[in-house]
Amino acid sequence: MNQFWSDFVKELKPYVPGEQPKEGEFVKLNSNESPYPPSPKAVAAMDKALAKGLELYPEAEATPVRETVAKYYGLTPDQVFVGNGSDESLAHLFNGLFRHNGKKILFPTITYSFYPVYAKLYSIPYTEVPLADDFSIDITPYLAASPDEVCGIIFANPNAPTSIALSLETIERLLKEQPNILVVVDEAYVDFGTQTAISLIQRYPNLMVIQTLSKSRSLAGIRVGFAFAQAELIQALTRVKNSFNSYPIDRVAQAGAIAAFEDEEYFNKTRHMIMASREYLIKEVRGLGFNVLPSAANFIFMSHPKLDATKIASELRERKLLVRHFKQVPIDQFLRVTIGTQENCENLVKALSEIVSKGI
Ligand code: PMP
Domains of the chain and any CATH numbers: 3-37+265-358 (3.90.1150.10), 40-263 (3.40.640.10)
Q: Which of 93, 211, 214 to mutate to test the pocket of ligand 1 (most atoms within 8 A of CB)?
A: 214
Q: Which of 20, 112, 154 to mutate to test the pocket of ligand 1 (most atoms within 8 A of CB)?
A: 112
User: Among candidates 233, 258, 259, 231, which has minimal Cα distance to 76?
Assistant: 231
| Pairing verdict, β 291-292 and 150-156 | unpaired
β-strands 150-156, 182-186: how paired? parallel
Distance 160 CA to ligand 1 centre (A): 9
Ligand 1 atom nearest to CA at 84: 14
- State the distance from the centre of ligand 1 to the C-alpha of 211, rounded, in angstroms: 8
- Contacts (Cβ under 8 Å, ≥6 apart) of 111: 154, 155, 156, 159, 160
Taking CA atoms only, the protein residue closest to ligand 1 atom 6 is: 188
Q: Which of 98, 94, 172, 180 is nearest to 139 (CA)?
A: 172
Q: How high is the pLDDT of residue 15?
A: 79
- Chain centroid to CA 80: how far? 17
Cα separation, 178 vs 223, in Å, equals 32
Record the pTM.
0.95
Give the span between the Cα atoms of 134 and 264, in whole angstroms. 35
Ranges in the chain, pLDDT < 50: none
Please give the ipTM for the structure prediction. Answer: 0.99
Helix segments in the chain, DSSP class H: 3-10, 40-51, 63-73, 85-93, 114-121, 140-143, 168-177, 231-244, 251-262, 264-287, 309-318, 342-358
